[in-house]
Amino acid sequence: MRRMVRVFCFLFPGFLFCGSALAQGSVPVLVSIAPQKYLVERIAGDNLVQVSTLLRPGANPHTWEPGPEQMRAVTAARLWFTIGLPFEESLLPRLKTDKLHVVSMIRGLKRLAPAPSLVAHDGSGQAQDGKEEHGEDLDPHVWLSPMLARAMLPGVVEALSEILPDKAGELRVRAADLARELEELDAGIAEKLDALPTGKRSFLTLHPAWRYFAMNYGLEELSISPDGREPGPKSLQAVADAAKERGLTCILVEEQFYGSLAEAVASALGLRIVRVNPLGEDLLFVYRDITDKIIASLKP
């Protein structure tokens, strides 16, 4: 059997589940983004599952399309944890099979409209001031709230227990440990952010991603470009006025959206860019990092 696996991997080197993990019987599991991988692996422990992530580091989830490697990952997987991202909706009708069990990690969680934007656009691409929401889409960034991430854990345990019934007890224990870590981290973040004065509880982002985090801790996220287009002069002035009123000196820019637009907007507004990564695999680090950078961004 091991020889057959080695031969298969030689013939198909791009196949994601080659090597010792498959030979040892690990269950191939698919997730959409790296933070989900962290949660699944923390619960599953070592050697029980082989987790593959569809969205590669640095890719923009709003424009990403799967390549041959990702399609092979879907074909091999027994379980796919989705999380409410738009690209999942387009993939599911094409990829769902009797073999692939699809489980939503946000089942039962209430999603919100995106954070209010300082800029919106009409169909011509010109900026319109005064419009607060972009479209009717719900904000998919649920994993960026520690307590909402905690709420996802029982569903992960249930789904993994179905394919690993003899490991259900271990899965529950590890999920309970992770839940405690998230609760302790949440309390620590709340203590830090509660210390911010009333007039210093807003932060500026290029793209709206942090509403769940902001609402968790009584903050206000203000976004500049919800649809990835450059604001017009009037809208840039509105952003400049809002930033000055709140004493904001920085724009938080996601790694996936860093580029000429971020630099142009920052230059036009005279603001500093602070890079953040909501798709980092170490989810606990993501929470600590955004906390520290929000606090630092509010200092003169």
What token pair was written down for 184? 């302790």
Contact 60, 256 (CB under 8 A): yes
Note the pLDDT of residue 151. Answer: 97
Which pLDDT band, with edges at 50, 70 and 90, does 41 fall under?
very high
Query: From 3.40.50.1980, 3.90.226.10, 3.40.605.10, 3.40.50.1000, which CATH number describes the 196-297 domain?
Result: 3.40.50.1980
* pLDDT for residue 12: 33
What's the confidence (pLDDT) of residue 132?
Answer: 35
For all residues of the chain together, what is the average pLDDT?
Answer: 82
Q: How confident is the model at residue 134, as a pLDDT?
A: 37
Of 79-93, 181-195, 205-219, 240-254, the range with the highest mean pLDDT is 181-195
Instruction: Report the candidate in 114, 115, 126, 118 with the shortest Cα–Cα distance to residue 239.
Output: 118
Q: Do domains 2-109+146-184 and 196-297 have the same CATH topology?
A: yes
Half-sphere exposure of 90 (CA within 13 A, CB side): 9
Query: Strand 127-128 and strand 120-121: pairing?
Result: antiparallel
Residue 217 predicted with pLDDT over 70: yes
Residues near 76 by beta carbon (within 8 Å), at least 6 away in sequence: 15, 16, 17, 28, 52
Q: pLDDT band for position 44 (50/70/90)?
A: very high
Average pLDDT over residues 16-25: 41
Digit-coded pLDDT (tens) for 95-153: 767 788 999 999 999 998 876 677 644 333 333 333 333 334 788 999 999 999 999 99
What is the residue extent of each domain of the chain? 2-109+146-184, 196-297
Tokens of 85: 């991202």
CATH architecture classification, 2-109+146-184: 3-Layer(aba) Sandwich (3.40)
